[in-house]
Amino acid sequence: MPSNALPRTRARRRQVAMSVLAGFAFLIAGAALFREPTLEVSAVLMVAGLLLGVGGLYVLRSLTGRMTGDGRDLDERETELRNNAHYRSYQTFALLMLVDLAYGLVVAGRPDGGSLTSSMTAALFLLGLAMPTLKLAWSLPDDDPEDFVTTA
């Protein structure tokens, strides 16, 4: 492994996953403030959240061995882990959309309710799309060092 590469340990994946979640928290906070007096703060939070969340997600996809992709090169264990992550993420995604529906009902009477709801929908949708990678990053065990030993 090159010296500048991130180690694929559970602890490292969890650190990156927490930074991704922090990025999405900034994005959600920016979506909640997406109205006239706080529009500049909202824009800064949303841009910072997108950079941190999507950038960290890119790193996580490589740290999880791209198991959240199509899965053509996965063994049985990896396929089972991936399928479990997708199932749990689907449930979380449904819950996020219920939260979005409740938020939309709360802000429905406001003159800017449409823009608040659409920005929150976008933020929660992006978080929902990231859930399989976050779930895998959090739950994957460390690689077995013996798997990387080459015999001559």
pLDDT tens digits, residue range 27-40? Answer: 999 999 988 888 89
- Do 34 and 116 contact (CB within 8 A), yes or no? yes
**Residue 64 CB partners (closer than 8 Å, separation 6+):** 13, 133, 136, 137, 140
Q: Rg for the chain (alpha carbons), in Å?
A: 18
Please report whether residue 21 resides in a domain: yes
Q: Which of 44, 59, 46 is nearest to 130 (CA)?
A: 59
- Mean of the pLDDT values across residues 88-95? 95
Range 87-102 average pLDDT = 96
pLDDT of 84 over the 80 cut: yes
5 located within any domain: no
Q: Tell me if 4 is assigned to some domain.
A: no
Domain span holding position 108: 10-65+75-139
44 phi/psi in degrees, rounded to 5: -65, -45
- The band of 87, judged by pLDDT with boundaries at 50, 70 and 90, is very high
Q: 3-state DSSP helix/strand/coil percent for the chain, to nearest 5?
A: 75, 0, 25
> CA-to-CA distance for 54 and 47, rounded, in angstroms?
10
9 band by pLDDT with thresholds 50, 70 and 90:
confident
pTM of the model: 0.82
* Residue 8 or residue 40, greater confidence: 40
| Contact present, 137 and 62 (Cβ < 8 Å) | no
Asked if the model's pLDDT at residue 67 lies above 80, the reply is no
Specify the DSSP element, H or E, that contains 28.
Answer: helix 10-32
Indicate whether 2 belongs to any domain. no
Predicted local distance difference test score (pLDDT) of residue 3: 47
Question: From CA 71, how far away is CA 3, in angstroms rounded?
Answer: 28
Residue 1 lies in a domain: no
Question: Residue 36's pLDDT is what?
Answer: 82
Q: Percentage of the chain surpassing pLDDT 90?
A: 58
**Per the structure, how many domains does the chain have?**
1
Amino acid at 85: A
